[in-house]
């Protein structure tokens, strides 16, 4: 496993966790993907209680509805082999031979790295721009609620936000940006525009984005999404 710190890679069974442009620090050396307080998948069920012949069997409970694909436990099966820190403007994408499956995005605020997983396989990673102390990028688990390929901000004087994917009602989004300049954002997660286009084409409304600070998991960990 390489030494990358993944952005928020950990599929959290978690309680809700919770840019005037300024120069941001260069991304630290990435390590394996991080997820916010992810819960380990299913423990062994207890054996049923014995019953005497005189006891009538209880009615069988109605079967529970099948959980959505994004809520099923899965194992982190691959980390992209990236050597060294990911520089601003750099990105990686490899989905060759990766099966279909749920998409999960992680963002690690310490590493300043975003990772994309499909069915437990990391298929993309990039350095990202984040918010400042005055306008921080929030921690938590956020479903994608809106997508707009040619979005223009109605909060920040018409700033272009290509391949926008909304996370909160107060303007926190994923979007393409001039990441190579190394500036900070107003709380959004900015990424290279070409990477943002690939991510936009990969995700669906409702896909989860885990934003954490240094939470780590390893290859083979079994996680439960929420």
Q: What is the pLDDT of residues 102-115, one digit of tens each?
A: 999 999 999 999 99
pLDDT digits (tens, 9 = 90+) for 19-46: 433 344 445 444 444 443 333 233 333 3
Question: Do 49 and 191 form a contact (C-beta atoms < 8 A)?
Answer: no
177 or 61, higher pLDDT: 177
Continuous segment of H or E residues that includes residue 91? strand 91-93
**DSSP string of 145-173, one letter each residue:** -EEEEEEE-TTTTT-EEEEEEE--TTS-E
| Ordered domains of the chain (ranges, CATH) | 1-40+70-218 (2.40.440.10)
* C-alpha closest to that of 199 among 179, 136, 207: 207
pLDDT, average across residues 90-95: 96
pLDDT tens across 136-168, in order? 999 999 999 999 997 676 666 667 779 999 999
- For the beta carbon of residue 3, count every other beta carbon within 10 angstroms: 13
pLDDT of 65 > 50? The answer is no
């Amino acid at each position: 496993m390489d030494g990358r710190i993944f952005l928020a890679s950990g599929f959290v069974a978690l309680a809700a966790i919770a840019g005037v442009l300024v120069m941001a620090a260069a991304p630290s050396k990435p390590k394996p993907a991080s997820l916010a307080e992810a819960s380990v998948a299913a423990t062994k069920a207890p054996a049923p209680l014995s019953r005497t012949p005189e006891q009538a069997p209880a009615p069988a409970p109605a079967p529970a509805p099948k959980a959505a694909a994004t809520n099923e436990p899965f194992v982190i099966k691959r980390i992209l082999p990236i050597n060294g820190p990911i520089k601003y403007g750099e990105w990686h994408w490899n989905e060759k031979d990766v099966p279909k499956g749920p998409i999960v995005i992680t963002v690690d605020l310490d590493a300043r790295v975003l990772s994309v997983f499909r069915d437990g396989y990391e298929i993309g990673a990039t350095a990202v721009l984040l918010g400042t102390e005055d306008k921080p990028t929030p921690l938590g688990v956020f479903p994608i609620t809106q997508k707009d390929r040619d979005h223009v901000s109605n909060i920040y004087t018409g700033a272009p936000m290509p391949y926008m994917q909304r996370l909160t009602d107060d303007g926190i989004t994923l979007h393409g940006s001039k990441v190579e300049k190394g500036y900070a954002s107003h709380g959004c997660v900015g990424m290279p525009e070409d990477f943002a286009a690939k991510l936009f084409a990969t995700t669906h409304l409702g896909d989860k984005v885990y934003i954490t600070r240094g939470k780590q998991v390893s290859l083979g960990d079994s996680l439960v999404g929420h």
